[in-house]
């Protein structure tokens, strides 16, 4: 389970506002990449059991994530969310888009943090002290909290998109590459939510182009 060890080390060095960052949706075929930044409150730093159960969002059920997201919101000193849509992912690539989402999440915090704990990636254009931690969502409580906020926020967005595009099953697979998603693409083609730069979409885009050119019946 994630702990406050990394946060406590930074506190011992004089940092007071420490943000954990993580993203959701990086590997999806459709929808935005969503990042969250979470600054834990003083009460949690003194009593980590207030966030008992907070873990890497991938290890939790959807119901458990939603419940824990409410607990995190109740005890966080600050939460920021950044959302980057598919068209910008296609323009810049998924890694730059992920960094942009994280930067937006930081900017949406109530105040700029003193230091950052980030899952896996770094933010080279930011001068803030930062640590990029592989599997950080399983080590740092701040990053784990951010992973839950990012995941629940993105899942809610994809459920909303499911009402706009009901034939693609976004409410079920959330834009990830599943057999159901693959069948929907084969049957209905791509939507504006689909990441056209991602390899799994290339064959469907070729079919769209062929139909548009009038080369097939």
Tens digit of each residue's pLDDT (9 = 90 or more) over 94-141: 999 999 999 999 999 999 999 999 999 999 999 999 999 999 999 999
pLDDT of 202 > 60? The answer is yes
Looking at every residue in the chain, the average pLDDT score rounds to 94
What is the pLDDT averaged over residues 181-198?
94
pLDDT of 188 > 60? The answer is yes
SS (H, E, C) the chain: CCECHHHHHHHHCCCCCEEEEEEECCCCCECCEEEEEEEECHHHHHCHHHHCCCCCHHHCCHHHHHHHHHHHHHHEEEEEEEEECHHHHHHHCHHHHHHHHHHHHHHCCCCCCCEEEEECCCCCCCCCCEEEECCHHHCEHHHHHHHHHHHHHHHHHHHHHHHHCCCCCHHHHCCCCCHHHHHHHHHHCCCCCECCCCHHHHHHHHHHHHHHHCCCC
Distance CA 5, CA 8 (A): 5
pLDDT at 178: 96
Are 81 and 105 in contact by the 8 Å Cβ rule? The answer is: yes
- Domains in the chain: boundaries: 5-164
What is the pLDDT averaged over residues 56-82?
98
Bridge-partner residues for 22, per DSSP? 36
Which of these CATH numbers, 3.90.550.10, 3.30.420.10, 3.40.718.10, 2.60.120.260, describes 5-164?
Answer: 3.30.420.10
pLDDT of 184 > 80? The answer is yes
């Amino acid at each position: 389970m994630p702990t406050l060890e990394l946060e406590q080390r930074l506190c011992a060095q004089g940092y007071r506002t420490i943000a954990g960052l993580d993203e959701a949706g990086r590997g999806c075929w459709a929808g935005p990449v969503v990042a969250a930044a979470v600054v834990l409150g003083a009460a949690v730093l003194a009593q980590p059991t207030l966030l008992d159960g907070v873990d890497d969002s991938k290890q939790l059920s959807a119901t458990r994530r939603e419940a824990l997201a409410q607990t995190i919101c109740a005890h966080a000193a600050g939460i920021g969310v950044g959302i980057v849509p598919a068209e910008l992912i296609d323009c810049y690539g998924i890694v730059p888009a992920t960094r942009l989402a994280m930067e937006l999440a930081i900017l949406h915090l109530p105040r700029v943090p003193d230091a950052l704990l980030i899952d896996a990636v770094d933010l080279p254009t930011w001068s803030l002290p930062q640590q990029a931690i592989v599997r950080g969502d399983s080590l740092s409580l701040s990053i784990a909290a951010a992973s839950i906020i990012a995941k629940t926020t993105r899942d809610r967005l994809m459920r909303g998109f499911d009402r706009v595009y009901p034939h693609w099953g976004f409410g079920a697979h959330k834009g990830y590459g599943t057999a159901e998603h693959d069948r929907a693409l084969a049957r209905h083609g791509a939507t504006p939510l689909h990441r056209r730069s991602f390899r799994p979409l290339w064959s469907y885009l070729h079919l769209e182009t062929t139909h548009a050119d009038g080369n097939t019946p």
